[in-house]
Amino acid sequence: MEEFRKQKPQNESVIRFISPEINKVILRDKSSLYLVNKNNLPIVQIENVLNSGSSYDPAGKEGLAYLAAMLLDEGAGKFSALELNNEFEKMGTSFSISADKDEIHISALTLSEYAERTIELISLVLNEPAFTEADFIREREKLLTRILQIKDNPSLLASGLFNKVLYNNSVYENPLYGSKQSVEGITLDDVKNFYNNNIMLNEFSVIVVGSQSDKNYESLINSSIIHGIDKKAQRELKVTVDAEFSPVIFLNDKANSPQTEIRIGNCTNRRPHPDYFAKHVLNSILGGQFSSRINLNLREDKGYTYGASSSFNYDKLSGEFVVSTSVQSEVTADAIREILKELNNIKKGVTDEELEFSKSYLIKKFPSHFETYSQISSNISTLITHELQENYFENYLDNLLSVQKDDVINAAQKYIMPDKCIILLVGNKRLILEKLKASFNYPVIELNRDGDRIELHQ
């Protein structure tokens, strides 16, 4: 018998890893440039972060930031939409623009030899977008069709409805894409106004990850990417959330659906907060990874689902805790009961073993967050969004190490609220409603796909 098989092997040495140095420079338009030296491949990642996401959409014009982002690269300078795209593609540059609640991101991954040209083109996109009527009409149609398509996807639909109920009456309530009605009402002038008043004037940052020895990115970007000089004071955006819920079930009926999409959760706080690391460890134990309590219970023990997880998600102005899963229709009520049970149990405490496991997992995984050029860029973008300290990554491991059992329990008691949560379901009403009513003493409010309340089942 081979004795060595009986025991898990021990590590052979200690890993030394220092996160890459981030060099911050102020550009001549007062924007920030973040430089990271990485040279194992002849490539460079350039990312622009514009503080102009959908939370800046004017009332009734929801979807405007998203549409403006779609339109930014539909022609710029002397190039038409297709010509501009061709300029990027003939270098093999991968270029994209995305928008979220808080920001618009313009990203490019390119071979280093084309870095100058890529920066020139980004500058065009940012400073001289064409915004023609024909491009506007085409992109708005695309967005309207996308809004239609999202409603087909139960997982996206559930997350969207959960967001809407959770952030009722705040700037985060509305879907990034807007609604059919709001997008139909957006004009090209709205897009131009949004560009002039938000995209060009709100806070702006650039990130460059690549070899810093063969090019001077500071001077390249200073002479090319110019952003609005007269920055306006940041608008005070606030997220105020409705009073806590005494659990309410919201249900969107998806006839013939073989599964129910479940979201259970509550609002929490912003990311820059002393409790962040305790919440991070807490979530890892509860539902943040495969071996967490929720996944082991719902998947590996009960077989209700392909997977179940929980997370603390952070936007610039708020945070939320949410459990997400998709379960076979017939076991919907049982799955909800098990999830609520796990939420209540974790408030009672965690074991030493769980704490050590989760800390070990999060700490030892740290180097793998710095593998690709875009991962590094995305890490810096997180610092920008949440206004974290520049030495955040240097202190990351010490912060995790210092989390104690009491911190985790306190965080659970403070931020996990099974008694005041929202339970949002997208599933087959015919199969699940009666059992929901019989199992829980909570009101069931039926929503349509746009999130409007259509019926109350007591």
Tell me which stretch binds another protein (CB under 8 A): 3-11, 29-37, 58-66, 413-421: 3-11
Amino acid at 136: F
* Touching another protein, residues 326-365 (CB under 8 A): 326-328, 357, 360-361, 363-365
- For residues 280-299, which are near another protein according to CB under 8 A? 289-291, 296, 299
Tokens standing for residue 328: 């076979």
Site for another protein in 114-143 (CB under 8 A): 138, 141-142
Name which of 222 and 372 has its Cβ closer to another protein: 372
The candidate with the shortest Cα–Cα distance to 147, out of 451, 411, 398, is 451
DSSP element (H, E) containing 133: helix 133-150
The CA distance from 25 to 218, in Å, is 8
In the numeric block, which tokens belong to residue 312? 């603390």
Q: Should residue 373 be labelled a site residue for another protein when binding is judged by CB under 8 A?
A: yes
Nearer to another protein, 1 or 59 (CB): 1
Candidates 96, 149, 216, 344; binder of another protein (CB under 8 A) is 149
Q: Which two tokens stand for residue 29?
A: 């338009």
Provide the mask over 427-446, with x wherever binding to another protein is found by CB under 8 A and - wherever it is not. --------------------
Please, what is the minimum distance in Å from the beta carbon of residue 85 to another protein?
Answer: 4
**Interface residues for another protein in 24-43 (CB under 8 A)?**
40-43
Q: Which is nearer to another protein, 187 or 306 (CB)?
A: 306
Residues in contact with another protein, shown as a per-residue x/- string from 80 to 109 under the rule CB under 8 A: -xx--xx--xxxxxx--------------x
Q: What is the footprint of another protein within residues 43-72 (CB under 8 A)?
A: 43
Lay out the site mask for another protein across 162-191 (x = CB under 8 A, - = otherwise). ------------------------------
- Run of H or E including 283: helix 276-286
Cβ 191 vs Cβ 64: under 8 Å: yes
Interface residue with another protein among 14, 59, 233, 438 (CB under 8 A) is 14
Please, where are the H alpha helices in 3-132?
64-72, 81-89, 115-127
Are the C-beta atoms of residues 426 and 257 closer than 8 Å to each other?
yes
Beta-bridge partner residues of 259 = 328
CB 192, CB 128: distance < 8 Å: no
Indicate the residue among 234 and 375 with the shorter CB distance to another protein.
Answer: 375
Contacts to another protein from residues 199-218, by CB under 8 A: none
Q: How far is the CB of 331 from another protein (least distance, A)?
A: 9
The residue (of 198 and 295) whose beta carbon lies closer to another protein is 295
Q: How far does the chain reach from its first CA to its final CA, in angstroms?
A: 65
CA distances from 364 to 16, 17, 202, 276, 400 (A): 10, 10, 37, 18, 11
